[in-house]
Amino acid sequence: MSTPTESPTANADGTTSSRSTAASPDVDVSGREESTEFDQATRELLVDGLRRTLDGRWRATRDSVRERANRSDLLPDPSRTLDEARARVLEEMRELSSQGFAAAGFASDHGGTGDVGASITAIEMLGYADLSLMVKAGVQWGLFGGAVENLGTQRHHDRYVSDIISLDLLGCFAMTETGHGSNVQALETTATYDPQTQEFVIDSPTPSARKDYIGGAAQHARVAAVFAQLITAGPGQEPESHGVHCFVVPIRDDNGDDLPGVTTSDCGYKGGLAGVDNGRILFDHVRIPAENLLNRYADVDADGTYRSHIENPNRRFFTMLGTLIRGRVSVAATAGAAGRKALALATKYGTVRKQFEAPGADDEITVLDYLGHQRKLLPLIAKSYAMTCTQNELVAELHEVQSAAPDDSDAGRQRQLESSAAGLKAYATWHASHAINVSREACGGAGYLDENQLSIMRGDIDVFTTFEGDNTVLTQLVAKELLSAYADDVQGLSAGGWVRFIAGMARDVVVEKTAARQVIQTLLESSDEDTEKSTLTDRGTQIRLFRNREDHLVRTCAQRLRRATDDDNDAFEVFNNAQDHLLKVGRVHTERVVLESFIEAINDCDSKAAAELLGKVCDLFVYSALEDDLAWFLMHRHVSVERAKAIRRGVNELCRELRPYADVLVDAFGIPENLMVAPMIENG
């Protein structure tokens, strides 16, 4: 494939045509008519090469799940009642467990096999089958199991981990309350230490303290990892709250009945995820033994003295939360998988569905041959490619950080990781939700029938933008971290407090680009600093445009925020007036990271043909990202009017060039055949 130019096959008059571009010897990009006619061997070569790039480091795990999950009976069945759907997912979890699915998520000396990356990758792959199964598995092994694993100590590991893996102990993760979702520090549930009995008393003092939306709480969970304000008094002192900590609290007996003082209820029907039994929990002075405090980061002596090796309560809280990052990373990963599957279904349908008279033929036009249809699907496929590479990188980084010996962890690295996870979770779940929506609509009435899966996926994915961190809050978090350069002690500040911190910072904010990548550096160095001077298909120029946008937004946002004074109201107003700016900082930062990791993954691709095709995909990702934000680039003169027009034309052109590969691109996702069941694809 030739290196593309500004608008590779533009005619002299500025229009574009579908003339084929020269391609590498083994792959020829052809026009509409021959769209699927390159030979089978070439096709397989391409699919293989692409898949290796997309599969990343844990490709063996992917292949193993692919093999085991290639069963259409894993797909959600809308004819099940709520009870049946929930029972079925639990049954599927038992199967997974018996196949050793869950062990990777736990350290080998706790009874697991200790492969964090494999564990998240396996969870992600469930997204190709049933999002309810992924969520319920994620709650049990990732959130509940993760809390015990990461916040507990040996006494908890010994007692719980093997039962968690085997499902002999079903748990839930009781963090969110009716009154508090995003603001976890303000949870109202209390855990008050009673030195007389050496117990904690768990209580919901107000209606809004009710634990809410908790997966597993409606029916199956026997035990909850409860987040509550730890209140204790040292000898001779007044009781004092030490912030939110996590406690293992039994909630049901072996018959599934609520234990004394515990009142569970059912969230009932939801927009999707029928197989997940979300529920509520109220505690009325429930007593648990002191040892049920997950005490890795803090503990209470028998006499009530509170101890923690992390002095600062904010830092302590965020350190504890930080260890739970796996859930957020899994959600991002799975959203990625769901988005890919939806795009694959819609693309397959788009290559068989025909509508309206074709020129000079008896047949009708294949809908994916319409530019309008290509524009719906292909840029989203490109974005999915880019994001998958970023996701793989994030999982690898998480694996490294969490596999390091305890206390060998680098606080800065952990902080960066959390920010990347937050950013990608928001970016990936919004993308997935949008991609599934567009895919449904691109399949017309057929897309609305549950038999073709998209409508079920649409309902299931919806809440991914909300749980494991509301996307808006997470995007803002990314921006705040960037702007305060990951400074200590800004976590937990109120909006106003944080703005005052920024206003007080002596130096200019300089965006530190995560882990300098050699390949990016080289590309940057070989590109012209004046982006208008080089062609838009030049990688270095692409990176510069994304970096310049981010730097510009960070700098100007910091300038706005500096106007804050010490006045509380004023500081909040300054923050609030800049909130849209701040949210944009978070989004463009993540998008820049996504681009750079995609470029690095392409660089690592070992198939020449696949790498060249990936290059086109990367171009489409860049062109459509620029198109989506063109007003900003124009307004801030990072792109000229002429270039802006070339970007629009370029998206069309790239869609046309990639059209013949649409099928190849989605086959490379490697979605098990029996999970791609959709009568519409047979019927056309």
- Using CB under 8 A as the binding rule, the residues of this chain from 488 to 507 that contact its own copies are 494-496
Stretch that binds its own copies, among 112-120, 266-274, 550-558, 669-677 (CB under 8 A): 266-274
**Site residues for its own copies, window 596-655 (CB under 8 A)?**
627, 630-631, 634-635, 637, 641, 644-645, 648, 652
The residue count of the chain comes to 684
Dihedral sign of CA atoms 195, 197, 199, 200 in order: negative
By beta-carbon proximity to its own copies, the closer residue of 129 and 175 is 175
Instruction: Compute the least distance from the CB of residue 498 to its own copies, in Å.
Output: 11
Beta bridge partners of 284: none
Rounded to whole angstroms, the Cα distance separating 409 from 395 reads: 16
Rounded to whole angstroms, the Cα distance separating 628 from 45 reads: 33
Instruction: Compute the least distance from the CB of residue 559 to its own copies, in Å.
Output: 11
By beta-carbon proximity to its own copies, the closer residue of 534 and 652 is 652
Stretch that binds its own copies, among 86-94, 410-418, 419-427, 577-585 (CB under 8 A): 577-585
Distances (CA, A) of 188 to 178, 214, 282: 10, 16, 11
By beta-carbon proximity to its own copies, the closer residue of 181 and 313 is 181
By beta-carbon proximity to its own copies, the closer residue of 144 and 213 is 213
Per-position x/- string for 450-469, each x denoting binding to its own copies as judged by CB under 8 A, each - no binding: xx--xxx-xx--xx-xxx--
Dihedral sign of CA atoms 666, 671, 672, 677 in order: negative
Is the Cβ–Cβ distance between 483 and 558 less than 8 Å?
Answer: yes
**Site residues for its own copies, window 352-391 (CB under 8 A)?**
355-360, 364-365, 369-372, 375
Rounded to whole angstroms, the Cα distance separating 647 from 266 reads: 51
**Site residues for its own copies, window 166-185 (CB under 8 A)?**
176, 178-183
Measured in degrees and rounded to the nearest 5, phi and psi for residue 226 equal: -100, 130
Stretch that binds its own copies, among 189-197, 537-545, 568-576, 617-625 (CB under 8 A): 568-576
571 interacts with its own copies by CB under 8 A = yes
605's CB contacts (< 8 A; 6+ apart) are 49, 52, 53, 611, 614
Instruction: Compute the least distance from the CB of residue 634 to its own copies, in Å.
Output: 4
By beta-carbon proximity to its own copies, the closer residue of 280 and 316 is 280
Q: What angle do CA 402, 341, 465 make, to 5 degrees?
A: 60
Is the Cβ–Cβ distance between 264 and 334 less than 8 Å?
Answer: no
**Site residues for its own copies, window 531-560 (CB under 8 A)?**
560
12 interacts with its own copies by CB under 8 A = no
* CB crowding 533-549: b at 16 or more within 10 Å, else e: ebbbbbbbbbbbbbbbb
Does residue 243 come out as left (phi exceeding 0), alpha (psi in the -120 to 50 range) or beta?
left
Stretch that binds its own copies, among 133-141, 197-205, 251-259, 449-457 (CB under 8 A): 449-457
By beta-carbon proximity to its own copies, the closer residue of 16 and 229 is 16
By beta-carbon proximity to its own copies, the closer residue of 186 and 515 is 186
Please select the residue that binds its own copies; options are 36, 162, 265, 437, rule is CB under 8 A. 437
Instruction: Compute the least distance from the CB of residue 328 to its own copies, in Å.
Output: 16
CA nearest 355: which of 343, 345, 374, 370? 370
167's CB contacts (< 8 A; 6+ apart) are 93, 94, 97, 140
Instruction: Compute the least distance from the CB of residue 26 to its own copies, in Å.
Output: 27
Instruction: Compute the least distance from the CB of residue 621 to its own copies, in Å.
Output: 18
By beta-carbon proximity to its own copies, the closer residue of 2 and 183 is 183
For residue 568, give both structure tokens. Answer: 């509380």
Is the Cβ–Cβ distance between 485 and 507 less than 8 Å?
Answer: no
Instruction: Compute the least distance from the CB of residue 440 to its own copies, in Å.
Output: 7
Instruction: Compute the least distance from the CB of residue 567 to its own copies, in Å.
Output: 8
Please select the residue that binds its own copies; options are 98, 206, 403, 579, rule is CB under 8 A. 579
* 3-class state of residue 34 by DSSP: coil
Instruction: Compute the least distance from the CB of residue 606 to its own copies, in Å.
Output: 36
Per-position x/- string for 200-219, each x denoting binding to its own copies as judged by CB under 8 A, each - no binding: -------xx---xx------
Beta bridge partners of 287: 201
Please select the residue that binds its own copies; options are 205, 256, 268, 289, rule is CB under 8 A. 268
Rounded to whole angstroms, the Cα distance separating 296 from 246 reads: 10
By beta-carbon proximity to its own copies, the closer residue of 118 and 218 is 218
Is the Cβ–Cβ distance between 148 and 201 less than 8 Å?
Answer: no
Tokens 């029916």 -> residue:
219
Number of residues in contact with its own copies, rule: CB under 8 A? 92
Rounded to whole angstroms, the Cα distance separating 230 from 223 reads: 19
Please select the residue that binds its own copies; options are 100, 256, 504, 684, rule is CB under 8 A. 684
Instruction: Compute the least distance from the CB of residue 486 to its own copies, in Å.
Output: 21
353: exposed, middle or buried (Cβ count in 10 Å: 0-12, 13-18, 19+): buried
**Site residues for its own copies, window 48-87 (CB under 8 A)?**
78-79, 81-82
Is the Cβ–Cβ distance between 212 and 267 less than 8 Å?
Answer: yes
63's CB contacts (< 8 A; 6+ apart) are 55
Beta bridge partners of 203: 190
Please select the residue that binds its own copies; options are 15, 108, 206, 522, rule is CB under 8 A. 15
125 interacts with its own copies by CB under 8 A = no
By beta-carbon proximity to its own copies, the closer residue of 31 and 250 is 31
By beta-carbon proximity to its own copies, the closer residue of 13 and 238 is 13
